[in-house]
């Protein structure tokens, strides 16, 4: 049994086919309680921020022991200290937000010209990541696949170090300094990505992302939330090179497309290599209430896959509405092994 699957090799093969575009149908992640008992709560993704890694390990063990995994799912958990792990690995401090649902970076760079940017393998937050991983690994062994929650470089990585205002002003007032800072971001990202590959043993296990997808190689979630504030021309100049660099370190990629403001860049993103799938997040407020089905169909028409989630009936309806094999469905709410097996059998008939 590896990562909750007695058939782990077969699951790996299905993921290989997905990334190669040779899958015969959509991918499904189904998790149900073992023996009809409720699954123990899965730890919050930021539970490790406070440093009690043993408590995270114990909670993860209870969760994994109480669940069964079907379809293309496996037991996995993302290690994270917040949305700006990369900035922290390069010297930013992280402060837990009120409510505890994220952390905020300190933006240590006051000026971009001549800024010193480097991955610090002996720094506070990378050292904590190594300790976090080692405590969990000692407790869990191969029962849960551990992964990095996110490692975003490029413009978003620079925002984590200098702040949005400094970045936007720099693009206008001193674009060369921004380009030089981004080049150092790329160098630091390469070092951080290599360190993650060693720590999480990609060559032995493969890797996973917080969204539930797996690759036998290195998988990541490139994004550029800062792109909502810049034009297509500035996106090409300042964002695309960093995204290409990040993608060059990966074997598989899911792009995190966040909010209506970034949609102007969708067609350009669709031409980037290795992006097989797009995670569309509408955001809050009015955007969350809109019908985004036309956009989903457009993304599929661009040759990219989608991430969707919902209850079994909702997923079945989306499967009929979007007759594509290039979708990863996270199926929620099933309670028994029989329900999981019946659902997957039904999907084979659609």
The rounded distance, in Å, linking the Cα atoms of 65 and 69 is 11
What one-character DSSP code corresponds to residue 49? G
In a domain, 1, yes or no: no
In a domain, 329, yes or no: yes
In a domain, 3, yes or no: no
In a domain, 80, yes or no: yes
Query: What is the number of structural domains in the chain?
Result: 1
Whole-model pTM? Answer: 0.96
CATH of the domain at 201: 3.20.20.210
Q: Residue 66 has which token pair?
A: 């109480």
All residues at 6 or more sequence positions from 318 whose CB lies less than 8 Å from its CB, including other chains: 308, 310, 327, 329
In a domain, 2, yes or no: no
In a domain, 293, yes or no: yes
Q: Tell me, what's the pLDDT at 37? A: 81
245 HSE (CA, 13 A, CB side):
23
In a domain, 273, yes or no: yes
| SS3 labels along 183-221 | HHHHHHHHHHHHHHHHHCCHHHHCEECCCCCEECCCEEC
Q: Tell me, what's the pLDDT at 286? A: 82
Q: Tell me, what's the pLDDT at 287? A: 80
Domain span including residue 40: 8-348
Q: Which of 278, 125, 150, 276 is nearest to 207 (CA)?
A: 150
In a domain, 245, yes or no: yes
Q: pLDDT by residue for the chain (350 residues), tens digit each?
A: 899 999 999 999 999 999 999 999 999 999 999 977 889 999 999 999 999 999 999 999 999 999 999 999 999 999 999 999 999 999 999 999 988 889 999 999 999 999 999 999 999 999 999 999 999 999 999 999 999 998 989 999 999 999 999 999 999 999 999 999 999 999 999 999 999 999 999 999 999 999 999 999 999 999 999 999 999 999 999 999 999 999 999 999 999 999 999 999 999 999 998 999 999 999 877 888 899 999 999 999 999 999 999 999 999 999 999 999 999 999 999 999 999 999 999 999 98
């Amino acid at each position: 049994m590896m990562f909750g699957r007695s058939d782990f090799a077969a699951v790996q093969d299905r993921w290989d086919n997905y990334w190669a575009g040779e899958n015969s149908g959509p991918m499904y992640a189904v998790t149900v309680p073992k023996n009809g008992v409720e699954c123990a709560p899965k730890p919050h993704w930021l539970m490790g921020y406070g440093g009690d890694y043993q408590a995270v390990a114990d909670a993860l063990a209870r969760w994994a022991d109480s669940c069964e995994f079907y379809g293309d799912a496996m037991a996995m958990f993302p290690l994270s200290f917040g949305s700006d792990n990369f900035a922290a690995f390069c010297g930013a401090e992280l402060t837990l937000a009120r409510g505890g649902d994220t952390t905020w970076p300190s933006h240590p760079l006051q000026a971009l010209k001549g800024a010193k940017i480097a991955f610090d393998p002996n720094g506070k937050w990378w050292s904590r990541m190594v300790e976090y991983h080692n405590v969990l690994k000692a407790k869990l062994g191969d029962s849960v696949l551990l992964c990095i929650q996110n490692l975003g470089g490029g413009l978003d990585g620079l925002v984590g170090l200098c702040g949005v205002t400094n970045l936007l002003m720099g693009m206008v007032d001193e674009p060369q300094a921004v380009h030089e800072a981004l080049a150092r971001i790329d160098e630091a990202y390469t070092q951080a990505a290599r360190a993650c590959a060693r720590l999480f043993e990609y060559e032995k296990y493969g890797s996973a992302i917080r969204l539930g997808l797996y690759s036998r190689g290195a998988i990541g979630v490139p994004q550029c939330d800062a792109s909502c504030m810049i034009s297509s021309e500035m996106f090409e100049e300042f964002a695309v090179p960093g995204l290409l660099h990040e993608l060059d370190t990966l074997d598989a990629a899911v792009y995190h497309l966040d909010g209506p403001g970034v949609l102007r860049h969708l067609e350009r993103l669709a031409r980037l290599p290795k992006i097989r799938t797009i995670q569309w997040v509408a955001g809050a407020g009015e955007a969350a209430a809109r019908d985004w089905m036309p956009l989903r169909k457009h993304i599929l028409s661009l040759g990219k896959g989608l991430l969707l989630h919902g209850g079994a009936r909702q997923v079945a309806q989306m499967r009929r509405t979007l007759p594509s094999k290039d979708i990863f469905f996270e199926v929620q709410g099933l309670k028994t092994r029989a329900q999981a097996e019946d659902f997957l059998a039904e999907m084979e008939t659609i």
